[in-house]
Amino acid sequence: MYTQILTQKEIQKAIKQIKVFYETELTKRLNLTRVSAPLFVTKDSGMNDNLNDVERPVGFDALDMPEKGTIEIVQSLAKWKRYALKKYDFKPEEGLYTNMNAIRRDEILDEVHSMYVDQWDFEKVITEDQRNIEYLKRQVEIIYTIFKDCEQVLARTYPHLHVTLPKNITFITSEELLQKYPDKTPKERERLITKEKIAVFLMNIGNKLSDNTIHDGRAADYDDWLLNGDLLFYNSVLDDSIELSSMGIRVNKERLLAQLKEKDQMYKTKFPFHQMLLNDELPLTFGGGLGQSRMCQFLLRTYHIGEVQCSLWPDRILKEMDEKHIKLL
Catalytic (active-site) positions: 49, 104, 119, 230, 243, 246
User: With contact defined as beta carbons under 8 Å apart, do 299 and 314 qualify?
Assistant: no
Sign of the CA dihedral 27, 117, 320, 307? positive
**CA dist., res. 221 & res. 258, Å (int):** 10
**CA dist., res. 84 & res. 105, Å (int):** 26
Kindly give the pairing relationship between strand 95-103 and strand 116-125. Answer: antiparallel
User: With contact defined as beta carbons under 8 Å apart, do 152 and 162 qualify?
Assistant: no
User: With contact defined as beta carbons under 8 Å apart, do 74 and 41 qualify?
Assistant: yes
The burial class, CB within 10 Å (0-12 / 13-18 / 19+), for 192 is middle
**CA dist., res. 206 & res. 227, Å (int):** 10
**CA dist., res. 89 & res. 112, Å (int):** 37
**CA dist., res. 215 & res. 190, Å (int):** 10
**CA dist., res. 138 & res. 270, Å (int):** 35
First to last CA, the chain: 20
DSSP, collapsed to helix, strand or coil, labels residue 32 as strand
DSSP, collapsed to helix, strand or coil, labels residue 18 as helix
**CA dist., res. 220 & res. 30, Å (int):** 26
Instruction: Give me the helix-helix angle, 8-30 and 292-299, nearest 10°.
Output: 120
**CA dist., res. 191 & res. 176, Å (int):** 15
